[in-house]
């Protein structure tokens, strides 16, 4: 079976995930490599089309789960918005959502940027003691940096 160039990119990303000790990148890439070896192409097509929205939905559900479980309520939410930390969290959340929206557009229009994001994440984890926050946040920051770069280059 011939491997297309996208398959080789997946192999490189898998190697980078292993070298960078990033279990999420490693697992996701390994599963994709497994899926592309199957005779059915529909799972990859469905992932390509729906996985980002499904993943974001699961992430939001996970963040709201303490409310659903009854461990947090309206009083806790209002307390969390009081004071400087609450205001900073509100602003941070709004800025992060704005930035990640730009990251989603970047990933949809320039999917090859994921290689730089994965490599940069591995460098950040290995050299700067960072944590892999995910491609959407990294792409959002990348999009903002790139927009600033293009603006200053005028």
Tens digits of residue pLDDT in 33-42: 999 988 888 9
**pLDDT score of 1:** 52
Low-confidence stretches of the chain (pLDDT < 50) are none
> Residue 100: how many CB atoms within 10 A of its CB?
20
Residues 23, 37: Cα–Cα separation, whole Å:
21
pLDDT per residue as tens digits for the range 8-27? 888 988 888 888 777 888 89
DSSP code for 40 = -
Classified as helix, coil or strand, 36 is helix
Q: Is 143 exposed, middle or buried (0-12, 13-18, 19+ CB in 10 A)?
A: buried
DSSP code for 3 = P
pTM of the model: 0.68
Classified as helix, coil or strand, 72 is coil
CA distances from 27 to 30, 31, 120 (A): 5, 6, 18
Q: Tokens representing 58?
A: 């699961």
Counting Cα atoms < 13 Å in the Cβ hemisphere of 27 gives 3
């Amino acid at each position: 079976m011939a491997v297309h160039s996208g398959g080789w990119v997946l192999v490189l990303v898998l190697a980078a995930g292993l070298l960078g000790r990033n279990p999420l990148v490693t697992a996701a890439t390994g599963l994709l490599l497994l899926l592309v070896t199957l005779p059915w192409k529909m799972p990859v097509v469905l992932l390509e089309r729906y996985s980002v929205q499904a993943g974001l939905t699961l992430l939001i559900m996970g963040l709201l789960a303490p409310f659903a479980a009854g461990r947090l309520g309206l009083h806790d939410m209002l307390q969390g918005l009081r004071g400087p930390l609450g205001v900073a969290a509100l602003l941070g959340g709004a800025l992060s959502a704005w930035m990640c929206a730009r990251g989603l557009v970047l990933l949809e229009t320039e999917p090859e940027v994921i290689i730089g994001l994965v490599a940069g994440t591995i460098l950040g984890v290995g050299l700067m003691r960072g944590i892999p926050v995910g491609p959407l946040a990294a792409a959002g920051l990348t999009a903002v940096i790139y927009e600033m770069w293009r603006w200053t280059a005028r």
